[in-house]
Amino acid sequence: MPTADPLAADLAGVVGQQHLLVDPDLLAAYETDWTRRFSGRARLVVRPGSTAEVAEVVRRCARAGATVVPQGGNTGLVGGGVPRGGEVVLSLARIDGLDEVDGVSGQVTVGAGATLAAVQAHVRAAGWTVGIDLAARDTATVGGMVATNAGGLQVMRFGTMRARLAGLEAVLADGSVVSRLGGLDKDTTGYDLVGLLCGSEGTLGIVTRVRLRLAPLVPAGVTVLLGLESTEAAVGTLAELRRRGAPLVSAEWFQASAVALVRGHTGLPAPPCGTHPDHLLLDAADRHDPVEAMAAALDGLDGGDTAAVADDRAGREALWAYRERITESIGAAGIPHKLDVALRPDRFAAAVAALPAVVADAAPAARLVLFGHLGDGTVHVNVLGLAPDDTAVDEAVLRCVVAHDGTIGAEHGIGVAKAPWLHLYRSDEELRAMAAIKAALDPAGMLNPGVLLPAVRRPPPAPPR
Ligand code: FAD
Ligand code: 2HG
Ligand code: ZN
């Protein structure tokens, strides 16, 4: 579509007309986030096909004073990957190449726009796992997962995205390229740019390629669903399983309210362990069949007598459905406020117990759904029945979590959703240091303004003579 925007013509010269979108019907998919809570108009969408094209696009946007929102799969849940009003959306979707798996180092380099599912299938064929998994795997991109330091279902064994990162390549706000793809396990040569960019939510640079650490695939797995009478029992059972050395990969927790929502949306029958106030879904994997090891580890524990166990693919997927389909079931019930927080094991149950009253005080008619990754302390607080811009519950929940020594951001990032409350968890000194890093790497505030830190617009630095 012809456009009067000179920037569109300029960028089309870099990426080709077919990768430059200005038609409002085509922009729509890039303008609203997965939750439908956050949306804004894009000036245009540009889809570069290489690191060099990203760098040239960024340089030309900077010259035109156009701010840029990097976007991967647009599965983010804190409004950080969609425009707030008039930004250029830079989609990484075309940079999705997969290099051959390096079986000697156990690493692989992939394009930032590759989906997690594509990378998982690629490395699985060579006998490896990326050690990271989440329900948005078919759409979420590796670049987005680096930008948010994504967590997911296997953090208790493999860590978050930061732990899986062996290196990356990124374009900075001035269009320069930093490339740390060497994959060395040791490197003490100064500031860790890879670690810094991980979790920076597109505010410091645009990730174009990623080098991932892999782990050997283990052949045998088992899934166990437990019914428990309280959150304390879930925490206690997991602590004892860890103490007994159970070969756990995942320990997911959800309450009866989540089961009711999933059953209402999907038509699933009651869970085979029966419906209980709390549930613990465990995945174990090992070189040798872990069924007996799990049975021994569960012996005599709370919930052990209700256990539903599956070690075949269909049976395991059927148990996982009660957990994996929670997010879609919430979305079908309305536009949620999503607050992903994390707590230490010794504070987890007390915080969870406090949340219903906190939410009811701020919004008596709201519906609260609680679930999360107990293995790493994440609670996904979902609240339905609120206007998208009514933030009283958000603030009350985040204050409650901080009062229980937890973090206001576990794995989805801060985005725009939680930016007003970052000060609850990060000190003035830390916020000043973060602002100084932003000012050093992006002095004109071109990358993802308003995400994570308050937006700043400074005049671009004078060009070198
Ligand atoms: P986007 O949504 O496109 O962007 C997210 C952020 O990263 C934005 O700030 C964006 O500007 C920035 N960004 C994107 N790509 C780049 C890049 N190449 N360079 C620089 N910045 C970039 N998250 C978890 O952590 N654990 C889960 O278990 C989990 N489960 C989910 C389940 C469902 C059903 C859904 C819908 C989401 C889930 N998420 C989960 C959230 C989401 O999938 C992650 O945050 C994921 O990392 C986002 O990837 P994306 O490619 O979709 O990024
Ligand atoms: C999950 O763990 C995701 O399924 C999404 O992080 C959480 O829907 C949510 O709040
Ligand atoms: Zn999660």
Taking residues 10-23, what's their average pLDDT?
A: 98
- Residue of 36, 283, 371 to test ligand 2 pocket, by largest number of atoms within 8 Å of CB: 371
Taking the C-alpha atoms of residue 354 and residue 366, their distance in angstroms, rounded to an integer, is 15
Question: Which protein residues touch ligand 2 with a CB less than 6 Å away?
Answer: 135, 327, 330, 338, 380, 382
3-state secondary structure of 62: helix
**How many alpha carbons lie under 13 Å from residue 209 in its C-beta half-sphere?**
21
Q: Which residue has the tokens 């013509």?
A: 9
Taking the C-alpha atoms of residue 54 and residue 47, their distance in angstroms, rounded to an integer, is 8
Is any atom of ligand 1 closer than 6 Å to the C-beta of 154?
Answer: no
Count CB neighbours of 231 within 10 A. 22
Taking residues 50-79, what's their average pLDDT?
A: 98
2: pLDDT confidence band, cut at 50, 70 and 90? low
pLDDT at 240: 97
Ligand 3 center–CA 151 separation, angstroms? 7
pLDDT at 220: 87
Count CB neighbours of 297 within 10 A. 23
Helix segments in 18-154, DSSP class H = 24-31, 51-64, 116-124, 142-148
**Closest by CA position to 349, among listed 246, 255, 241:** 255
**Closest by CA position to 412, among listed 168, 152, 135, 197:** 152
- Residue of 37, 78, 134, 323 to test ligand 2 pocket, by largest number of atoms within 8 Å of CB: 134
pLDDT digits (tens, 9 = 90+) for 289-339: 999 999 999 999 988 888 999 999 999 999 999 999 999 999 999 999 999
Provide the token pair at 160: 């978050």
pLDDT digits (tens, 9 = 90+) for 430-444: 999 999 999 999 999
Inter-residue contact 374 to 397 (CB < 8 Å): no
pLDDT at 376: 98
Of the two residues 2 and 259, the one the predictor is more confident about is: 259
Is any atom of ligand 1 closer than 6 Å to the C-beta of 448?
Answer: yes
| Mean residue pLDDT across the chain | 95
Taking residues 66-86, what's their average pLDDT?
A: 97
- Residue of 326, 335, 355 to test ligand 2 pocket, by largest number of atoms within 8 Å of CB: 326
Ligand 2 center–CA 157 separation, angstroms? 18
Q: Crossing angle for the helix pair 231-243 and 345-362, nearest 10 degrees? A: 160
Is any atom of ligand 1 closer than 6 Å to the C-beta of 200?
Answer: no
Count CB neighbours of 453 within 10 A. 20
**Closest by CA position to 34, among listed 415, 296, 299, 455:** 415
Taking the C-alpha atoms of residue 130 and residue 123, their distance in angstroms, rounded to an integer, is 7
pLDDT at 464: 47
